[in-house]
Amino acid sequence: MRARLLAVGRAVAFVALALVLCGVLFEAAGFSAPDMFASILDGAFLSDGALLHDLRWACPLFISATGVVIAFRCGYFNVGTQGQFYLGAIGAAVAVAVMPGLPTILVIVVALLAGMLFGALWAFWPGWLRIHSGTDEVITTLMGNFIAILLLIWVTSGPLKDPSGSGQVTASLPVPMADRISDDGGVSALILGITIAVGIAAWVLVNRTAFGVLGGLAGRNPIMVTWQGARLSRLGLGAFMLSGATAGLAGAMEVLGPDGRLVSGFSPTHGFTAVLIGLVANLSVSGSVIAALFFGGLASASLYLPVIAGLPAAAIDIINAAIALFITSRAWPSRFRFRRATR
């Protein structure tokens, strides 16, 4: 309990430190820092409807963050959440496109599963390379993000292109209204239900199953776990694919939910923010709930700032980046102290 309180205190302290750095930057850029923070707070949590907007961003972010928690606990730096999220969105859009006129339930279930499958596959190859040849997953997953962005551009401007679309941003044909899981607001009982279900499943997996416990141990000391007779390669691949599947599910939900179509280059900071949420929560699923609500609020504020307060949306990116800079400070449990390849 005391250790947990300490971890929470540390996370809060480093977030505060990051905010101080941001305040200095804002002042340096000629904005008034107190006004800036007041508008952000207002846009994120206090103004009318802010909490609904917060949920709209917090749900997909939380789902992706559970995957980050699973992978990072095993000691794998899957920073490819963005790419897996995009692949999931592509999977869902493809599923919807190939199943016109089928019953709604079937379409939604298949589209969500397709999203999870695509996301898992996009995490599978870096995982396989890491586990079977010791290729560092940081680079492969990062490169995977860039490839996924290009794939998304190709899909939306080629096979799934909406011919009536125009201008810079290409998009796919809209998902039929009947097959949507929410309106443009992006908050519905179904989305909340899926999010809660994923959260509970992830918590049980991490805290109450052999896979989760062994994975956590493997992240701390892979050699010991191998000697205990656990199959590290299976654990690792499982962790990779689960984290890819969650990101893919989040992507599929964006397509079937608030976006209602596949848009080229949507939610460009989703993956980075999801990784942050997992880290701020000190790799705990329950902590990720609170962190996701916090960052979801920031995400919704970044849309609100330029419109209402006339402040640049970049302010939010800076806040996220500053938190990333500090959040891992000494906060590492021993599992991040050293990383070894395990064959």
Residues in touch with other proteins (CB under 8 A): 25-26, 29-31, 77, 79, 129, 133-136, 138-140, 142-144, 146-147, 150-151, 153-154, 157-158, 272, 275, 279, 312, 314-315, 317-318, 320-330, 332, 336-341, 343
Nearer Cβ to other proteins, position 112 or 275?
275
Helices (H), the chain: 2-28, 33-41, 50-73, 81-98, 104-133, 137-157, 189-208, 210-220, 222-227, 232-256, 270-280, 285-304, 314-327
Nearer Cβ to other proteins, position 191 or 232?
232
Nearer Cβ to other proteins, position 29 or 197?
29
Nearer Cβ to other proteins, position 137 or 259?
137
- Rg, Å, the chain Cα set: 20
Do 188 and 195 contact (CB within 8 A), yes or no?
no
Report in angstroms how near the CB of residue 146 gets to other proteins at its nearest. Answer: 5
C-alpha to C-alpha distance for 140 and 127, rounded to whole angstroms: 9
Report in angstroms how near the CB of residue 133 gets to other proteins at its nearest. Answer: 5
Report in angstroms how near the CB of residue 321 gets to other proteins at its nearest. Answer: 3
Nearer Cβ to other proteins, position 170 or 195?
170
Per the listing, tokens 């794998």 go with 76
Report in angstroms how near the CB of residue 261 gets to other proteins at its nearest. Answer: 19
The DSSP H or E segment spanning 78 is: none
Nearer Cβ to other proteins, position 257 or 296?
296
Burial of 150 (0-12, 13-18, 19+ CB in 10 A): exposed
Report in angstroms how near the CB of residue 134 gets to other proteins at its nearest. Answer: 2
C-alpha to C-alpha distance for 329 and 325, rounded to whole angstroms: 8
Report in angstroms how near the CB of residue 187 gets to other proteins at its nearest. Answer: 27
Do 269 and 316 contact (CB within 8 A), yes or no?
no
Nearer Cβ to other proteins, position 36 or 107?
36
Nearest residue to 67 (alpha-carbon basis) of 222, 230, 285, 251: 285
Nearest residue to 277 (alpha-carbon basis) of 267, 289, 266: 289
Q: Specify the length of the chain in residues.
A: 343
Report in angstroms how near the CB of residue 192 gets to other proteins at its nearest. Answer: 29
Residue 290, both tokens: 């609170």
Residue 256, both tokens: 């079937």
Report in angstroms how near the CB of residue 286 gets to other proteins at its nearest. Answer: 21
Report in angstroms how near the CB of residue 38 gets to other proteins at its nearest. Answer: 17
Do 290 and 80 contact (CB within 8 A), yes or no?
no
Per-residue CA distances from 73 to 234, 235, 264, 265, 329 (Å): 15, 11, 32, 29, 17
Nearer Cβ to other proteins, position 204 or 341?
341
Nearer Cβ to other proteins, position 202 or 331?
331
Residue 337, both tokens: 């102290």
